[in-house]
Amino acid sequence: MAPGLLVVALFLIGGIYSIAATPDNATASNARSALIEEGKNIFMRGCSSCHGLNAEGSGIAPSLIGVGAASVDFQVATGRMPMADMSQQAMRKKPVYSPEEIAALAAYVASLAPGPAIPTAEQLNYERDGNVAEGGELFRTNCAMCHNAAAQGGALTAGKYAPTLMGVEPVHIYEAMITGPQAMPVFGDQAITPEEKLSIIKWIKSVESEGSYGGASLGKVGPVTEGLLGWVLGLGSLIGIAVWLATKAR
């Protein structure tokens, strides 16, 4: 009886100890593996038909090895991926996956090879670390040619376009700069430092929240809408007035 009890007691103590003493990093690593595993499952179902079973890419889609979590978060969380159709450019739309699924996908792709990570909230404190004036200068030198001087977006070649930056999450603006999605080039951390990136984001956010000081902004896209309005509405009303002037009063 006593040896039996002893065995049971030892077994219990040992079991409890082994559970209680499991190191935290082991749990974290297990959770990480589980996340990567979940991400791989989502990838297999939703992405592998184009990007290949091992994310190695194919004739119609690029390899995702080494693109990093930031690239996945940008493409999937802005709804660009999965692509709705194989046209010139993937456009921003409602995301297909939930934030948890996107995190899993990002973890899976990041596990394939090192690449840019998703910036943390602490790294993205643009209100604290950014400078609007500096951001404007950087934007005009680096971004305005494609995205328009007021960040409203603009046309590129063959049906491609630089999208508007209005209403884009700061984290996605940051990720676009470090990963260079689609036709956009990469702006590395030496070409534009992380603080300078935050200044650019702060400037974009200030443009977004700023009202139109000169009256109607006409979309802030420059001479096209201004000319259209001038010619159609301005000249149209002048013609109307000319007709009124020439008719004889009764």
List of residues contacting other proteins (CB under 8 A): 134, 137-138, 141-142, 145-146, 154, 156-158, 160, 162, 180, 182-193, 196, 211-217, 244-245, 248-250
Q: How far is the C-alpha of 233 from the C-alpha of 239, rounded, in Å?
A: 10
- Nearer to other proteins by Cβ, of 26 and 86: the residue is 86
Residue 168 beta carbon to other proteins: minimum distance, rounded to whole angstroms: 18
The distance of closest approach from Cβ of residue 214 to other proteins in the complex, given in angstroms and rounded to an integer, is 6
Q: Is the previous residue joined to 82 through a cis bond, with omega within 30 degrees of 0?
A: yes
In 3D, which of 98, 217, 111, 201 has the Cα closest to residue 147?
201
Q: Quick one: 100 or 189, whose CB is closer to other proteins? A: 189
Q: How far is the CB of 250 from other proteins (least distance, A)?
A: 6
Q: Which amino acid is at 243?
A: V
> Coil, strand, or helix at residue 154?
strand
Judge residue 41's burial from the number of C-beta atoms within 10 Å of its C-beta, 0-12 exposed, 13-18 middle, 19 or more buried: middle
Compare residues 42 and 72 and give the one whose CB is closer to other proteins. Answer: 72
Q: Say how far residue 234 (Cα) sits from the centre of its chain.
A: 40
- Closest approach of other proteins to the CB of residue 248, in Å: 7
- Cβ-based burial of 124 (10 A; exposed 0-12, middle 13-18, buried ≥19): buried
Nearer to other proteins among residue 38 and residue 208 (C-beta):
208
